[in-house]
Amino acid sequence: MIELIISVCMIGQPDVCKDVHLTYSAANLTPYQCLMRGQPEIAKWSVGHPKWQVQRFRCGRVQTAEKEA
């Protein structure tokens, strides 16, 4: 599975930042397709979180606890 990772910072406190992970459930989605389809998803997320500003985004494989161990 591919996930969209959005790096965001608070508008009023630019030193408060975090990564938001949005997971796609579509099988066989390529990283390029994720980047193209991700832009509308980022816009939707931004509307729902007006205190946060998107700094950058990327796509990658979903990391599971099993893989990290």
Whether residue 22 lies inside any domain: the answer is: yes
Neighbours of 14 (CB within 10 A): 10
14-67 pLDDT, tens digit per residue, is: 999 999 998 766 667 788 888 888 899 999 999 999 999 999 999 988 776 444
Whether residue 69 lies inside any domain: the answer is: no
| Burial (0-12, 13-18, 19+ Cβ within 10 Å), 58 | middle
Residue 40: give the domain boundaries. 2-62
Copy the structure tokens of residue 8.
């965001």
Whether residue 67 lies inside any domain: the answer is: no
Q: Check residue 9 and give its pLDDT.
A: 98
Tally of domains in the chain: 1
Whether residue 16 lies inside any domain: the answer is: yes
Q: Which residues pair with 52 in a beta bridge?
A: 10
Whether residue 35 lies inside any domain: the answer is: yes
Number of Cα atoms under 13 Å in the Cβ half of residue 59: 17
Whether residue 68 lies inside any domain: the answer is: no
Copy the structure tokens of residue 55.
């700094």
